[in-house]
Amino acid sequence: MSWSDVIQGARTSAIIGAELEPYPYISGFGLLMRLTRLGALTPPEISAFGFRNRSEVDVLTATQQLRASARLMLHAVGLQETRVGSHWTHERWSPARLGGVFDANPRPVRHCLECAAHGYHCTLFQLPSIELCPWHQAPLVDSCPNCPRPLWSRFDRESKLGRCECGFDPFSPTVASVDMWEFPTEAANAWATEYLEWAGAERVHRWIAADSSSPALGEGLAALLSPPALIQTPSLKQRPSRCTGFRKIIHFKKT
């Protein structure tokens, strides 16, 4: 299954920012960032997408867990008959069944800054086993380059999604619109499709059981969920094996 299969059934939308073809496997957070930023939507218009308590709601968490607001957004942009929303969850990208262990607490957005200029984000980026953007080879960052604040997926006081409190803004209206087709669509689609095929096959016989509050959770999952060498990014191939600090994570594998 490729991106064209995932978006099959999408209804034509005149909403600015709803373009799907250039951005394979875009997350719900990424889609909402494009919709609200390119369309310069007002608070009432944002509420129509299901996000009324903008200063409090964590958009990434709400869309990854497919809450009512995420389902309303899918319907509002004509995507309810597609498989787009099913690729917003951690479980879809994990090679092991997580049982909600990674959904217990909101986590900062992990951005490829080159992707973020387009308003693009993929749930794949949230997995600790992925350190570089696979198609840009750029490091994934979860804190502001200008200040130490985490990059949360909440609207700021001016209803801007994706902008840090200090004013740092990775989103570029020009890149996200005029340069939209310069996004590496083919490379992203090919890599992500191959990865999803591998992860889906692995998930059939692998389970993770862990304490979601453990400080070693990220390190443990990074080692256990790492993709094979054939589809790894260079940084993952060079990363040494880590086997300490996550003894309380139980990895079941059916044989």
Give the burial string for 210-244 (b: 16+ CB within 10 Å, else e): beeebeebebbbbbbbbbeeebbbeebeeeeeeee
Q: Average pLDDT of 177-198?
A: 96
C-alpha to C-alpha distance for 113 and 133, rounded to whole angstroms: 9
pTM across the whole model: 0.88
Strand-pair partners of 161: 155
Per residue in 80-119, pLDDT tens?
A: 999 999 999 999 999 999 888 877 778 899 999 999 999 9
pLDDT at 53: 67
Predicted confidence band of residue 210 (pLDDT cuts 50, 70, 90): confident
- Which residues constitute the domain of residue 223? 3-253
The number of folded domains in the chain is 1
Beta strands in 117-249 (DSSP E): 206-209
- Spatial neighbors of 80 by CB under 8 A, at least 6 apart, are 71, 74
Per residue in 110-156, pLDDT tens?
A: 999 999 999 999 999 999 999 999 999 999 999 999 998 999 999 98
Cβ neighbour number for residue 12 with a 10 Å cutoff? 6
C-alpha to C-alpha distance for 207 and 95, rounded to whole angstroms: 9
